[in-house]
Structure 1
Amino acid sequence: MTGSAILENVRRYRAIASLCRQAAAFRPVQRISLLTQADEWEQRAVGEIEGYFEAQDPPIPDQLSGSVN
């Protein structure tokens, strides 16, 4: 997946999370459920970003990571 597709997914996930939080402000009975959903959408966004950067960054060899033998 390209970087722009990842960013589009992140934008969509965060927009949905924002809508959940807005709805929670006006629906006190469903507040907990909506805030839980907002958190889940935020975690999806973070997962997309982390996955993208993990795929971009090569692993660091032991001698460069600062470990002492």
Structure 2
Amino acid sequence: MGKTLMIVGAIILVIGLIWEVAGRFIPLGRLPGDFLFKNGNMTIYFPIVTCIIISIVLSLILSLIRR
């Protein structure tokens, strides 16, 4: 179990680093279709398109790993 947690943690770390570097070139979280509602001091954010893109990319990567 400990080995699995370390591997998952390393994967999350790598994804976070890629997200930081790629965020300068690809505006994830600020794509058209991501909804931002501001009302006074309340802000609600729905990154729908960003979630769809991340889901597609992860699905492709996992399908390649399985083969």
TM-score of the aligned structures, taking structure 2 as reference length: 0.39
Which of 1 and 2 has greater Rg?
1
> Which structure has the highest strand share of the two?
2
TM-score of the aligned structures, taking structure 1 as reference length: 0.38
